[in-house]
Structure 1
Amino acid sequence: MVFAQSAERTLTKGKKISPDLFGLFFEDINYSADGGLYAELVQNRSFEYSPTDRRDWNPFSFWEYITPDFSYGSITVETNSPIHPNNPHYIVLTAEHVGDAGVGVKNSGFDGIVVKAGESYSISMFVRQLSADPISLAISLQTPKGKVLAESKFSTSSKDWKKYSATLKPIESTDSASLVVLATTRGKLALDVVSLFPEKTFKNRPNGLRADLAQLLADMKPRFIRFPGGCLVHGDGLGNMYRWKNTIGPIEQRIEQKNIWGYHQSLGLGYFEYFQFCEDIGAKPLPVLPAAVSCQNSGGTWRIGGTGQKALPKEEMQDYIQEVLDLIEWANGPATSTWGAKRAAAGHPAPFNLQYIGIGNEDKITSEFEERFKIIYTAVKAKHPEITVIGTSGPFPDGEDFEKGWRFANALNVPVVDEHYYKEPSWLMSNLDRYDKYDRTHAEIYLGEYASWGNKLKNAIAEAAYMTGLERNGDIVRMASYAPLLAKRNHTQWKTDMIFFDNNLVCLTPNYHVQKIFSLNQGDVYFDKIVNLDSNDTTAAASCVQDNETGDIILKLVNAGKESQAMKVNLKGFKRIVSKAHLTLLAGDPEAENTLEKPEVIVPTTSNFQASKSFSYHAPAMSLTVIRMKTK
């Protein structure tokens, strides 16, 4: 592959590297989507929770039937006449005696609903009147003690399913509100898809994203976003594979399903929302589709027993291949095409300019996987040679699946192969030269998931050192993304993550700061031997890149040792260096880590730096330093 470059202002000895090197990987793990990045405030809004999610869950989970002021009635969950077959469950509420308040239901969201005084919240629900006369409804936000913070009233007007919407503006702030829906006159009605969104979503998108979390990702300026998973993609058995067509269209028509990580996916954050977010922040979309096999850990194989990997029957493969091809048409086809028209109907007539598609996710490299991957890959390559397909080499950086995966990918001439590994900091520091040794005549690498098993500064600095090796090998390492991205307090299934959060607070780990620093300081040309390091020192690493768009020279200097280190910099090969430079430093106690209560124990600092063609920099112990210098 040849990267498109402008050769201006670069040295002849510079090496062109990937312009898409550092990006993000989003997986719906740790309540990253529902209750997290997806801004919906009602939990189980469509009454689709079930024991297949968790054994003690059912369609009425996280709802409370309420009969204040001596009112009474009844409530049932029914399926005989839903809004849409994809959304089968709804509740039927009968108000027999409404008293002074009414009969209804209450939802406290995901660990409470956070509302802010004076801000607007959009409430919507589908209602079907089942009794002869209209029924009056009161919708309110209330405190745990029943104080009404905001209220809207309306009457039913249809015996068919009809969507009702209103705006609520609370009079005071709270982090523990509930949404209350009360029938205030006698009657019977059906209720479904009860939804509450802050008006201030990211870029004010309807059905949008939580603004603060989304902005933190936008601030990183990632070159790409891989979604929607991980193991979530190939799922817990064939019936749980993530099928993109189930995630587009009106939310009441999407097919909800269990999450392999032990909870539920409303799929309100679906493919349209993922692609739209990528476009909003200038990142390339990288959707990952199952390779027509389920996760080898299906049924609990990672614990005891389980079913292991299962493969789609051969007679279903043609339909599945078409599903993959339809995604490309949905993303890139004209608004007049079958699937492009569906994208246009959702509000995006222009193509999304999809370039990459991942097929498979750290799958066990079995004959069933190989057969199905080859069929899919061949079909995509034949119809869409402009699409770069990314293969997989299993879940580890070595071993049987890794070796088989690479042999198989190279035999097929797959252009990019996805590697995954989670390791201790010492492994990263011992493998800084991993990609120096890779054969440049075969596939490029996407390091799709990696981390150093911890969120202390020492973990982040080891990752920074490793990332200098990714830059040095940016001619063959096309992309890299830390994982996992998000983790919610009290709902975390993975012990190392980039951003921790709850309904109010956000904690940016040292790992986040390292990833952001590298992402904001990407280059497209790499220069070797600019920083002189002691070859016997295993705690130091450095890289030098140039951003051709700005002409800036960017040094990244890493000291993972216990003492300050002098690093000699030689920039004499560059025609001009502006002396006034910009320095970013991340340093501190190697055992320090940020928490939701103390989120700024480790944060980067910025300062001016006096640069020259040759200088010595004393890198503090346990630190990452970036020096950015202009050349014009």
Structure 2
Amino acid sequence: MRMHKALFTALALSVGITVSAQTNEMVIQTKKLGAPIQSTMYGLFFEDINYGADGGLYAELVKNRSFEFPQNLMGWKTFGNVSLQEDGPFERNPHYVRLANPEHAHKRTGLENEGFFGVGVKQGEEYRFSVWARLPEGGKESKIRVELVKTNSMGEQHGFATQDVVINSTEWKKYQVILKPNITEPKSVLRIFLASNTTVDLEHVSLFPVDTWKGHENGLRKDLAQALADIKPGVFRFPGGCIVEGTDLETRYDWKKSVGPVENRPINENRWHYTFPHRFYPDYYQSYGMGFYEFFLLSKEIGAEPLPVLSCGLACQFQNNNMDAHVPTCELDSYIQDALDLIEFANGDVSTKWGKLRADMGHPESFNLKFIGIGNEQWGPEYPEHLEPFIKAIRKAYPDIKIIGSSGPDSEGKQFDYLWPEMKRLKADLVDEHFYRPEKWFLEQGARYDNYDRKGPKVFAGEYACHGKGKKWNHFNAALLEAAFMTGLERNADIVHMATYAPLFAHVEGWQWRPDMIWFDNLNCVRTVSYYVQQLFALNKGSHTLNLTMNNKNVTGAEGQNGLFASAVWEEADQTYIVKVANTSNNSQPITLNFSGLKKNNKLSNGVCIKLRSQDLDKDNTIENPDAIVPQESNVSIDGHIFNAELEPHTFTVYKFEKR
């Protein structure tokens, strides 16, 4: 009898295991909450690549507005009597143009700006033209005519928004008028005529939409900033990756040049303009118009913790193998001081030097900076040698600031294995990991952080994106695998404190790197499927992790798990269980969600299901069809604490149930 009973039990267990495997039963333990999920868990990484700043998020429509490109009139066409001068009112931007009478009464003097792939304007919107101008000594009142010009298919030019500006002083002054186009035109040019017989000097020629993000005059493009805000990011990293280092030390991003009056911020060479010969943009420079003050302000306005990253004195190591190209460790004092001064700029009292500058720029309150990154993708012994004095100085002056180091450019391998112990030795608070990897890598990394050392630094997954084999562009399958991988980030929220997809922006006519999260042209933007994956995780991140297993194992896409990846969280604020499941397989998968451990008087209300799926794995949203693949929400019913569903192939789903 005992033998029969044991055999029956074994058979039942065997059948149970088989049924569980067939139905993919996922058990969510509700009795005990897991690790708290950091507010910074899902965020944004910004870099001025793909015309992400000038020509993109920064709403300025004029290229080379202060005539400071190495070829001073790049982006401009001149006609008539135009000369370049270099004794202007702004120390860091000394060049300006002088418009004088043409030699013949029927000729004209003026100039045109091509903008960024054209000057894009919308019908009925207002655009603020501004210019610093003066009359030469003893000059009489002068006038310039400002207009937006469209060229039709016949080559004929038509001005469709025109205003006159009267210049009436021999002192440099800022003048402005409002242009209101009566048509929508993505590729107009800005034309300025000398409209009188009197010579006039022009500097810092600018054109902004009046309706910028939050209405700031030196503002951001509203639709692109709104797309960032709609993610509800927890952290905002800036000003980038490789541009922090620069091709050489002279062209590294220097935050001190990016603050103060915008007219006196110098240009900086963008290291991306020549990096890829097949995507070569010799007119790609940083105006610093969107500088560190604007980055801090944007972080505050979208509700994200600011995370600035600074140079550690090493230029881009991909482009500089010779140590002579880098700052010797004994000469790092000015770089370290830059880091200390940045913290003062962000947090310092208005009585301090840099806190006063922040206040003078319009923000007397602290930006409450908590994190700082030192170095980007450095490697080798030279990186910890350069990082260590930064850590010592910052710890001494600002012990509460969390410092982020790097594990180099690779997700594994020699440099990665060397740097992680070094970051532990130096007691970095977080380590920035980067991985641009193919589909196979993402499918194999579901359990990446399950066995990380919990006693060392936390993880910042600072740059990642799935790059399809032979498909290094945005497509649905890449986004799906990113979602699958992110369930592993979420499950390990005790060790992973930040994650940011990269790159963020790309102009459809000016990109150097893809895939990217948000694409745009001069008038429109499109949120890719990768964008919606990030948004779904950020909007449903929960307050605590929950243990979720299938056959007592984490659901990581491992063998026997039918291509499934899953994680679960609890949201304390609205008493909601949230389960994320990615089906990366070619087959529909029956799944069961078993919310184990609920008390008898606790019931789950009918919930919602949010799905992201496509039958065409190579498809994505485009400028022409921005809503081709977007999350679809529906109501679902649950029976007690058990939920059953059929999950279509190649589908990412978020299930939400409220506890009553």
Matches within 5 A, 1:242-321: 242-262=253-273, 263-298=284-319, 310-314=325-329, 316-321=331-336
Matches within 5 A, 1:168-183: 168-183=179-194
* 1:513-540 Cα shifts (integer Å, max 9, x gaps): 1111111111121111266668612510
Q: CA deviation at 1:414?
A: 1.0
Cross-structure match for 1:18: 38
* 1:278-302 Cα shifts (integer Å, max 9, x gaps): 111101111111111111123xx6x
The answer as to whether partners of 1:530 and 1:571 remain within 8 angstroms in 2 is no
Cross-structure match for 1:391: 405
SS state of the match for residue 217, structure 2? coil
Cross-structure match for 1:88: 94
Q: Does 1:74 align with 2:81?
A: yes
SS state of the match for residue 413, structure 1? coil
The answer as to whether partners of 1:236 and 1:295 remain within 8 angstroms in 2 is yes
Q: Which amino acid aligns with 1:292?
A: G
* 1:300-335 Cα shifts (integer Å, max 9, x gaps): x6xxxx757832245642222111111111111122
SS state of the match for residue 212, structure 1? helix
Q: Which amino acid aligns with 2:631?
A: P
1:517 to 536, 546, 551: 536
Cross-structure match for 1:5: none
1:65 to 78, 88, 95: 78
Where does structure 2 lack aligned partners over 5 or more consecutive residues?
A: 1-28, 274-283, 468-472
Q: CA deviation at 1:593?
A: 2.3
Q: CA deviation at 1:577?
A: 4.1
Cross-structure match for 1:554: 578
SS state of the match for residue 627, structure 1? strand
Q: Bigger shift: 137-146 or 233-242?
A: 137-146
Cross-structure match for 1:4: none
Q: Does 1:621 align with 2:636?
A: no
Cross-structure match for 2:62: 42
C-alpha separation between the residues in 1 aligned to 2:583 and 2:324?
43
Q: CA deviation at 1:13?
A: 4.5
The answer as to whether partners of 2:81 and 2:103 remain within 8 angstroms in 1 is no
1:374 to 360, 366, 388: 388
Q: Does 1:331 align with 2:346?
A: yes
The answer as to whether partners of 1:237 and 1:309 remain within 8 angstroms in 2 is no
C-alpha separation between the residues in 2 aligned to 1:214 and 1:493?
21
C-alpha separation between the residues in 1 aligned to 2:330 and 2:403?
24
SS state of the match for residue 370, structure 1? helix
Distance 1:225 1:98, change over 3 A: farther
1:120 to 108, 113, 126: 126
Cross-structure match for 1:505: 524
* 1:329-350 Cα shifts (integer Å, max 9, x gaps): 1111122222111111111111
2:146 to 139, 145, 148: 139
C-alpha separation between the residues in 2 aligned to 1:151 and 1:594?
37
C-alpha separation between the residues in 1 aligned to 2:124 and 2:39?
44
Q: Which amino acid aligns with 1:134?
A: E
Distance 1:307 1:94, change over 3 A: farther
C-alpha separation between the residues in 2 aligned to 1:98 and 1:166?
29
Q: CA deviation at 1:93?
A: 2.1
CA RMSD, Structure 1 to Structure 2 (Å): 2.0
The answer as to whether partners of 2:592 and 2:644 remain within 8 angstroms in 1 is yes
Equivalent pairs counted in the alignment come to 603
* 1:421-460 Cα shifts (integer Å, max 9, x gaps): 1111111111111111211111111000011114211111
**What percent of counterpart residues are identical?**
39
C-alpha separation between the residues in 2 aligned to 1:401 and 1:92?
54
Q: Which amino acid aligns with 1:141?
A: L
TM-score by length of 2: 0.88
Q: CA deviation at 1:154?
A: 2.7
The answer as to whether partners of 1:530 and 1:570 remain within 8 angstroms in 2 is no
C-alpha separation between the residues in 1 aligned to 2:386 and 2:104?
59
The answer as to whether partners of 1:297 and 1:309 remain within 8 angstroms in 2 is no
Distance 1:424 1:577, change over 3 A: farther
C-alpha separation between the residues in 2 aligned to 1:224 and 1:98?
59
The answer as to whether partners of 1:584 and 1:605 remain within 8 angstroms in 2 is yes
Matches within 5 A, 1:2-13: 11-13=31-33
Q: Does 1:599 align with 2:626?
A: yes
Distance 1:162 1:111, change over 3 A: same
The answer as to whether partners of 1:128 and 1:162 remain within 8 angstroms in 2 is yes
Q: Bigger shift: 432-441 or 504-513?
A: 504-513
SS state of the match for residue 340, structure 1? helix
Where does structure 1 lack aligned partners over 5 or more consecutive residues?
A: 1-8, 51-57, 67-72
* 1:404-432 Cα shifts (integer Å, max 9, x gaps): 21121111111110000111111111111
Cross-structure match for 1:69: none
Distance 1:192 1:536, change over 3 A: same
Q: Does 1:347 align with 2:368?
A: no
Greater relative contact order structure (CA < 8 Å, 6+ sep): 2
Q: Does 1:356 align with 2:363?
A: no
Cross-structure match for 2:9: none
Cross-structure match for 2:414: 400
Q: Which amino acid aligns with 1:284?
A: E
Q: CA deviation at 1:97?
A: 5.0
C-alpha separation between the residues in 2 aligned to 1:116 and 1:510?
27
Cross-structure match for 1:206: 217
C-alpha separation between the residues in 2 aligned to 1:88 and 1:294?
28
Cross-structure match for 1:573: 597
C-alpha separation between the residues in 2 aligned to 1:418 and 1:315?
25
Distance 1:572 1:277, change over 3 A: same
C-alpha separation between the residues in 1 aligned to 2:171 and 2:204?
15
The answer as to whether partners of 2:384 and 2:423 remain within 8 angstroms in 1 is no
Q: Bigger shift: 518-527 or 180-189?
A: 180-189
TM-score by length of 1: 0.92
C-alpha separation between the residues in 1 aligned to 2:343 and 2:254?
14
> Runs in 1 of length 4+ with deviation above 6 angstroms?
none
Q: Bigger shift: 120-129 or 143-152?
A: 143-152
Q: Which amino acid aligns with 1:478?
A: H
C-alpha separation between the residues in 2 aligned to 1:530 and 1:430?
18
